[in-house]
A and B are shown apart, each in its own frame.
Chain A
Amino acid sequence: MSIKVNETPVRTSRNFSINNIKLDFDIPDQIGSFENIECEAFNESKTRSLATDAKSYIAKDLDFKSPISENVKTKKITYGNGKLLEENVFKKANSKIRIETEKEEIKIKYEFDDENLELVNQIEIIGNKDANIIIEYESRTENPCFHNGIIKTIAKKDCKLNIAIVNLLNDKSVNFEAIENELYENSKVKYTIIDLGGKTSISNYYSNILGEKADNDLKTIYLGKDNEIKDLNYIAELRGKNSKIDIDVQGALDGNCKKNFKGTIDFKKGCKKAKGNENEFCLLLSDKAKSIALPMLLCTEDDVEGNHSTASGKVDAKSLFYIMSRGLSYKEAVKLIVKSNFNKIIERIKDNEVKEEILKEINRRLN
């Protein structure tokens, strides 16, 4: 079946092939259970396994400060990856987690294996108090994995959230992720997206920045190879006075990989003194890779500052020469340069174990 996903908020010429992405893909009809979910308060040493088919396990078994439940609201999202995938989540989710944050550091890890190949999940994060949350998807199997998820984040007044999404699925997998945020007065949401895995990885990120002085900071790395497809569609709507959005995307493409980056900053009426910055840099490691970027600025308010920039190019010859003259091979040198570009973003993740897994995966993908 051919499906169109990840529509941009504003259309442009069809000939540019960027308004959406067409995929030949069948959304699985039958979704089994998904039992390999681990939840951990990562700076303490509490680890529990969660099986989402075991009802009301969370409140009983776990001793988190933040109430965790399955009580996730099924409410239509504004953009997302399209109607079919959204319905798939609302009707067939095999994992639902709602976290009402207290001061805590929580890691949720979804491990795919031969028994758990399909994950359709919903996560709702209600930001009451400052919290660090890491959500990780990892394959422990060579078989194709399917992930389709919706993450909804609400950052209440003065709340600071630091959320990382880490995609370490295997090279045969398909990954769809739709993220939607609401930011209220003086809240700050730092999102870090590590988009490494998957034959096809489609992500939609929408931030509704409503409150005065609300601040959203999104940093992403992606790394594509072979015939992989990456489609990133990031939308930020600024409504609050003095609100802020900062988007920084760093990527590298190898092989015949195709990447679409669509970033929209929309200054809505009333967002006086709002600031929006958007930057994408794509390192091209092969002459067959395709990099398409559509960085949009939409503006209906005069008293704002909006900037965007995108750039693409190959690895800097001088840097390569320098590193190779120190005895490293070409491949090692390229790896080092890619990792140095990614490093400042990886460093935002608070858990050392996850950081190491990410670096290991980057090394593997660049071999």
Chain B
Amino acid sequence: MKTKVENINRNIYDIKNKDNYEFKMEKGLSKKIVEEISKQKGDPDWMREIRLKALETYEKLELPTWGPDLSALKMDNIATYVKPKTNLNSSWEDVPEDIKNTFDKLGIPEAEKKSLAGVGAQYDSEVVYHSMKKELLEQGVIYTDMETAVREYPEIVKEHFMKCVPINDHKFVALHAAVWSGGSFVYVPKGVKLDIPLQSYFRLNSPESGQFEHTLIIVDEGASLHFIEGCSAPKYNKVNLHAGCVELYVKDGAYLRYSTIENWSKNMMNLNTKKAIVGKDAQIDWVTGSFGSRVSMLYPMSILNGDNAKTEYTGITFAGKGQNLDTGFKVIHNGKNTSALVNSKSISKDGGSCTYRALVRVNDRAKGAKCSVSCESLMLDDISRSDTIPVNDIRTDEVTFSHEAKIGKISDKEIFYLMSRGLSEEDAKAMIVRGFAYPISKELPVEYAVEMNNLINLELEGSIG
């Protein structure tokens, strides 16, 4: 008998609002379209130039020759910019009713009330709501949407924008840089430690459109931040595209924890790019849950430049029917005595496909680097697929490196043991799946957002049997 893990109840995520926009860019991608987006955004000249240069790069670069099939993605059918019928609001009451209802159902304002220091909510291409606790403002913390940051903090943005992730990194980064819209900008000044997290929520409502939000976070020396990112979209039959970009700068002695719950609908191509540059004695921890989307190609990266820099990656991927989730983690050790701890788990069922694709590179000057990678895959049936493709590139001898991976099904011995303790077979299997996911699910910030709590319960601890 096979273990059955029910599909997540997506009712709350699948609420479709009428595609009610103020402006929707014509489909496809051209210089004219990029210029029009730039005009709509009121970009300064330097930003317009970045967009146009990125478009040129996009045209030159090829699609990846590896990974999931992206042939369903037709850029000519994707609208790169959709402006919802509202401006940026700082009061929840001012957000239009239909948008507000969606976020209400996802539990965003509730989460804010309970346990967040600030919240940003993006609907299609624009951030519709932003707020932050007053005392943080007084400490000099900046948390705003990217457009406001470009206008109000041009020097900081100019210094950091598309510098951590270069425009020519890959085709979809170039696309992102050409048409980006929305996203969050966070600056935590030196020594300021935020005890409770900030959260941004991205919702893509409009069918056949793309979301290209840019997140830029700078945690200055000795500061500390926990940032949570959530994403969802209703299900359409047409393909939607998400090609966001996250650039994180963790300066000397700083700490950043970046948590993501990605629950895009099953028509989404999620081709997101996330990188962090980590300074001396600084640390970045990634906690990632990938549950949604039709195709995901997502490989967060830590570049450990400073001596003694650290990173931890804790990720879980859950692929069901029709999903091909290609995720993983990349770490580059440049500084001395840098360390990385990677723990990845994946579950495939109903014909879903999970791939752990990763890179560990220890460069020759990273003397004393330590890196330990562990990945485990659980297959719940024989129509699914699970692959592990990790590259380990070691260029110095002063290194302690190990990589382990396991693949398999639920062990009969474990079931037998639990059943001999009085559990039914179903309960035993459910307990094993929960146990498999526990080291990761305990790290997920479920306590901070009601919506995420629902998600974890439904997806991993839902009715099994």
Contact = CB atoms under 8 A, between A and B. Distances in A.
B332 to A, nearest CB: 11
18 contacts: A12-B389, A14-B65, A14-B66, A290-B395, A293-B391, A293-B394, A294-B389, A297-B387, A298-B388, A299-B386, A305-B406, A307-B404, A309-B403, A309-B404, A310-B392, A311-B403, A312-B399, A313-B399
B389 A296 contact: yes
B66 A13 contact: yes
B381 interface: yes
Interface of B: 64-67, 357, 359, 364, 367, 377, 379-382, 384-409
Given A284-B397, A290-B393, 6 more contacts: A12-B389, A290-B395, A295-B403, A298-B387, A299-B377, A299-B379
Contacts of B390: 294-296
Given A18-B391, A297-B388, A297-B405, A302 B382 contact: yes
Contacts of B367: 287
Interface of A: 10-14, 16, 18-19, 267, 269, 282, 284-314
A13 B407 CA distance: 22
A312 B406 contact: no
A289 B397 contact: yes
A293 B67 CA distance: 19
Contacts of A294: 389-392
Contacts of A313: 397, 399-401
Nearest to B297: A13
A298 to B, nearest CB: 5
A301 B384 CA distance: 7
By secondary structure, the A interface counts as: strand
A312 B67 CA distance: 27
Contacts of B393: 16, 18, 290-292
Contact of B391 (A12, A288, A290): A12
Contacts of B385: 298-300
A163 B379 CA distance: 35
A9 to B, nearest CB: 11
Contacts of B402: 309-311
B398 A12 contact: no
Q: Which 9 A-B pairs have the closest CB atoms?
A: A284-B397, A302-B379, A11-B66, A306-B407, A314-B397, A297-B388, A302-B409, A311-B402, A16-B391
A8 B110 CA distance: 50
A237 to B, nearest CB: 14
A284 B394 contact: yes
A307 B405 contact: yes
A8 B348 CA distance: 24
Nearest to A308: B405
B349 to A, nearest CB: 9
A311 B377 CA distance: 20
Nearest to B381: A302
Contacts of A300: 382, 384-385
B396 A12 contact: no
A297 B348 CA distance: 14
Contacts of A16: 359, 391, 393
Nearest to B353: A300
A302 B377 CA distance: 10
B435 to A, nearest CB: 18
A287 B405 contact: no
A16 B65 CA distance: 13
A296 B387 CA distance: 7
A309 B65 contact: no
A18 B407 CA distance: 23
A257 to B, nearest CB: 12
Nearest to A267: B407
Contacts of B66: 10-14, 19
B388 A303 contact: no
Nearest to B64: A13
Contacts of B394: 282, 284, 290-293, 312
B401 A312 contact: yes
A25 B346 CA distance: 42
A160 B408 CA distance: 28
B227 to A, nearest CB: 26
A284 B396 contact: yes
A302 B387 contact: no
B389 A305 contact: no
Nearest to B65: A11
B65 to A, nearest CB: 6
B338 to A, nearest CB: 15
Given A12-B357, A300-B382, A302-B384, A287 B404 contact: no
A304 B392 CA distance: 25
A361 B345 CA distance: 44
B302 to A, nearest CB: 16
Given A10-B387, A308-B405, A302 B64 contact: no
Contacts of A301: 379, 382
Nearest to B375: A297
A302 B385 CA distance: 8
B364 A288 contact: yes
Contacts of B386: 297, 299
B364 A287 contact: yes
A16 to B, nearest CB: 5
Nearest to B393: A292
A309 to B, nearest CB: 5
A304 B399 CA distance: 33
A306 B408 contact: yes
B405 A314 contact: no
A150 B158 CA distance: 57
B408 A295 contact: no
Contacts of B395: 290-291
A285 B396 CA distance: 9
Contacts of B406: 305-307
A246 to B, nearest CB: 15
Contact of B380 (A10, A19, A302, A307): A302
Contacts of A267: 407
Contacts of A305: 406-408
